[in-house]
Amino acid sequence: MENLILISASFIIAAFLIATASFAFRAALQVSYANTRRKKAQSDLRHR
């Protein structure tokens, strides 16, 4: 019985860690994407 509790607890913790990591990864991707778009827009304005 204690093994089952340990396994389920570790599974919940692992799922939580995976969800947090994927969320942080998506947020970082969006930030870098926005930064590159802003830099590209600024360089386009400069070249005109």
pLDDT, mean of each 10-residue run, the chain (48 residues): 93 98 96 91 83
Does some domain include residue 40?
yes
pLDDT for the residue numbered 20: 97
Domain assignment present for 43: yes
Residue 47: domain span = 17-48
Return the structure tokens found at 32: 């870098």
In a domain, 35, yes or no: yes
Residue type, 10: S
Q: Look up residue 30 and give its two tokens.
A: 């969006």
Q: What is the pTM of this model?
A: 0.58
* Domains held by the chain: number: 1
Q: For residues 26 and 28, give the distance between their C-alpha atoms in angstroms, rounded to a whole number.
A: 5
As a whole number of angstroms, the distance between CA 32 and CA 29 comes to 5
